[in-house]
Structure 1
Amino acid sequence: MTDMGGDQIEEAVASCAALLRAAAGRDWDGVRAGRLEWSCRRTAEHIASDLIAYAGQLAGRAGTAYVPFKIAVDEGTGDAGVVDVIETTGALLAAAVRTTPREVRAFHPYPFRSANREGFAAMGVAEVLLHTHDIAEGLGLPYEPPAELCARVLATIFPHVRPEPDAPWSTLLWATGRGDLPGREPLTEWRWNNNLVIDTERLTLEGVTPAAAADLHTGGTGGFEWIEGGPFEGTRDASGMAVSAYEKGLHRPEWGIFVLVRREDGRAVGAMGFHGAPDEKERAEVGYDLAENARGQGYATEALRALAEYALARDDVKLLFATIDQDNASSQRVVARAGFTLVSEDLEQFGDELNDGEGSLRLYARDS
């Protein structure tokens, strides 16, 4: 599964325009758009407004708030003209996404106050698909966008939603309160979820979406530009674990994997993260690896300190731990410098599942 980008925005807009142009002679003003309070006309104008707003956020590198502007369709514009505006604003967002560097982030409130180009692309695609559905429902027209497009949206900005492999469109409708899925309670409130980033002096820890994790696990780059020798095997294995958790509905993005991106050149040097959300005792396990060419420069220590401080500042975790092979002296030094203490002599307090039975692992922990 590749990144969300300009091609996907254009594909979504084309599916929208095809339906709306065929319905341009209908009464858009007098009909509500599906479950929305807006008319079909107002909803179509809203699609264009969202697309240009997202383009503006990226192009303007908005840091703390929405760029204070809006567009208005000229008075007297017919419905076909509104479709022209949707196509134009879609092209502008696609261009902004294609020309924005991978590491750039701009303001968006949900949930971590920023999004990168893939996030804005996914949000734009979601707005187009979902509001086209609303209009089609209001006008009594059939509409179902490409399944792969829906799956990419889900795997980018709905990482907390268990996907239905054979029904990504139905899953997306359910996840946004627009439909039902067998065995799942209807949703009345929902938010999409852009990835978390944590900054350090020399690095950015960038949360890996299920879409990026799937690409990493199958031999791709995850959309990152890696230094020579990366990504390392441990990153691909951890990505596979993240994909498995996502497919089971157990993935929690703030307790997932983070790729370590070097600020000086935007290149990824390794990965770090959690083995899952905190357990019933409010404990979480951390793990990490670096590309060989990035080792010995303090990157792992710097990143682990930041990740530990982020996690231990939360209300749902009291202790972090790491299990390290007794022969891996360099990794033991990393965790020690990051504030973890050797507690191997008291393994029983962590449960039998952490003891490999052969004494080949050492356990380090850090609490709040």
Structure 2
Amino acid sequence: MDIAGAQQVEEAVADCVRALGAVADQDWRAVRAGRLEWDCRRTAEHIAEDLISYAGQLAGRATDAYVPFDITLDDGTDNAGALHVIHTTGALLAATLRTTPRAVRAFHPYPFRHAGRTGFAAMGVAEVLLHTHDVTEGLGVAYEPPAALAEFVLTRIFPEVMPGPAPWPTLLWATGRGDLPGREPVTAWRWSNNLVIPADRLTLEGVTPAAAAGLAVGGGGGFTWVDSGPYDGTRDAAGALLKAYGAGVLRARWGMFVLVRREDDRAVGGIGFHGPPDEDGRVEIGYDLSPEARGHGYATEALRALSAWALEQPEVTSVFAATEPDNLPSQAVIRRAGFTRTGGGEEEFAYELRR
């Protein structure tokens, strides 16, 4: 699998060009694109705009805003020419994804004002699939992309959408374009790139359902790990995240993070919440490190960073952590991070950090 998503972008663009090429002889300007306000031709041009824009964000390493450029088709460009532009801009995005380092993040407004290369790939695939649907719906032509492409999008930028009976109808429902039995219609939506929290020597990278699936079955989840690999607790946490995703109760901000060492982009451990804050505003944190990464202060650094982020959220009043009475290294980490012991018995010690 192409972790960066370049292959998926190419497949989505090829499917779009195939589907729209079959109706290129129709007047796209005379027909509204599905439920959009745009006509079909303007929607097709928008696909190309999105693809080149995402390539520009990554290639230009934009951090605060969109790179200030646009794309305009030459006067007189027919529908076949517009499809050629879609094919070309898709190739440019795919090439950019393949040459962008994994750790690079660039500006995108939803929801944390940044996205990595896999996020831009998923957004690009989403734009292509959904707007191809809009155009074909407007022209009265049936369209259904490969299910794997819709699943690629859902498991990366729709982490809080419960999987449905099939990926494509679920993606249409999640974006207000279709119905699913037993679910209310969607009238407002946003996709969600993963949260990334910077620390000193580490970056805490939010784990998507796609990454969790890889970790849970013994893989790296798209990360390059230190030689000892993910510890058992990290894999168990990934499995718990997948369970929450499958049940439709995952709250991505309150999920799991992988600790990535900045100096070499290697993953050294995992940290995360046991769920969203409770009714009293208390949220619980757990963590572990790969064996060879221990003894360097990484756990303390990560715990401080994630706790500080949590306490900045208005719904949080305190952060809770627990450890076994005989786990002296873990107790030292918790104390160094500023937590105070609040109780516990023979089975575990309880610690708390308040706002």
Give the TM-score of the pair, scaled to structure 1: 0.95
Deviation, 1:2, is 6.8
Measured in 1, the distance between the counterparts of 2:218 and 2:148 equals 20
2:250 counterpart residue number: 251
Partner Cα distance (1:204, 1:129) in 2: 32
Q: In 2, distance between residues paired with 1:325 and 1:39?
A: 62
* Structure 1 residues 345-364: aligned runs within 5 Å: 345=344, 359-364=346-351
Distance 1:3 1:280, change over 3 A: farther
Q: How does 1:67-146 map to 2 (within 5 A)?
A: 67-146=67-146
Q: Which residue of 2 aligns with 1:281?
A: 280
Q: Which residue of 2 aligns with 1:213?
A: 212
Letter in 2 for 1:148: A
Shift of 1:228: 1.0
8 Å CA contact 2:173–2:179 kept in 1: the answer is yes
Q: State the alpha-carbon separation in 2 of the partners of residues 312 and 3 from structure 1.
A: 33
1:66–1:108 Cα contact (<8 Å) kept:
yes
Q: Secondary structure at the match of 1:220?
A: coil
Partner of residue 263, structure 2: 264
Q: How many residues align?
A: 355
In structure 1, C-alpha distance between the alignment counterparts of 2:226 and 2:104, rounded to whole Å? 19
Aligned to 1:168: 167
Question: What is the match of residue 193 of structure 2?
Answer: 194
1:48 Cα deviation from its structure 2 partner:
0.3
Q: Distance in 1 between matches of 2:241 and 2:101?
A: 25
Which residue type is aligned with residue 254 of structure 1?
A: R
**For residues 102 and 144 of structure 1, what CA distance do their matches in structure 2 show?**
31
User: 1:75-130 CA deviation, whole Å, 9 max, x = no partner?
Assistant: 11110010000000000001111111111000000000000000000000000000
Alpha carbon RMSD of aligned pairs, Å? 1.1
Q: Cα 1:320–1:250, aligned 2, differ >3 Å: closer, same or farther?
A: same
Give 3-state SS (helix, strand or coil) of 1:288's partner.
Answer: strand
Task: Report matched runs for 1:327-342 at 5 Å.
Answer: 327-342=326-341
Partner of 1:348: none
Q: Which structure 1 residue ranges, 5 or more long, are not aligned?
A: 346-357
Question: How big is each residue's C-alpha offset from its partner over 1:21-78, in whole Å with a ceiling of 9 and x where there is no partner?
Answer: 1101011010000001111000000000000000000001001000000011111111
> After alignment, is 279-288 or 88-97 more displaced?
279-288
Query: 2-side partners of 1:282 and 1:163: how far apart?
Result: 29
Match of 1:239 in 2: 238
Letter in 1 for 2:199: T
After TM superposition, the structure 1 = structure 2 runs for residues 16-31 of structure 1, keeping only pairs within 5 Å, are: 16-31=16-31
Stretch of structure 1 that moved more, 27-36 or 279-288: 279-288
- Deviation, structure 1 residue 230: 1.5
Q: Cα offset for 1:270?
A: 0.5
Retained in 2: the 8 A contact 1:342–1:363? yes
User: Separation in 1 of the partners of 2:298 and 2:100?
Assistant: 26
Deviation at 1:359, TM superposition (A): 2.2
Q: Tell me, yes or no, if structure 1 residue 367 matches structure 2 residue 334.
A: no
What amino acid is aligned across from residue 79 of structure 1 in structure 2? N
- Maintained 8 Å contact 2:4/2:98: no
CA distance in 2 between partners of 1:182 and 1:309 (Å):
41
Q: Normalized against structure 2, the TM-score is what?
A: 0.98
Q: Aligned-pair distance for 1:342?
A: 1.0
Correspondence 1:325 to 2:324: yes
Q: Is the 8 A contact 1:203 1:260 kept in 2?
A: yes
2: CA distance, partners of 1:6 / 1:100: 11
Distance 2:81 2:257 in 1: 44
> What displacement does 1:281 show?
2.0
**Which residue identity is paired with 1:31?**
V
State percent identity of aligned pairs: 65
- Structure 1's consecutive aligned runs of 4 or more residues displaced over 4 angstroms after TM superposition are none
Q: Distance in 1 between matches of 2:282 and 2:200?
A: 27
Q: Which residue of 2 aligns with 1:226?
A: 225
What is aligned with 1:353? none
Provide the rounded CA distance (Å) in 2 between the counterparts of 1:16 and 1:142: 12
Amino acid at match of 2:228: G
- Tell me the alpha carbon deviations over residues 235-272 of structure 1, each in whole angstroms, 9 at most, x when there is no partner: 10000000000111111111011111111111111110
Structure 2 distance, partners of 1:69, 1:93, is 15
Find the aligned partners of 2:4 and 2:16 in 1 and give their Cα distance: 18
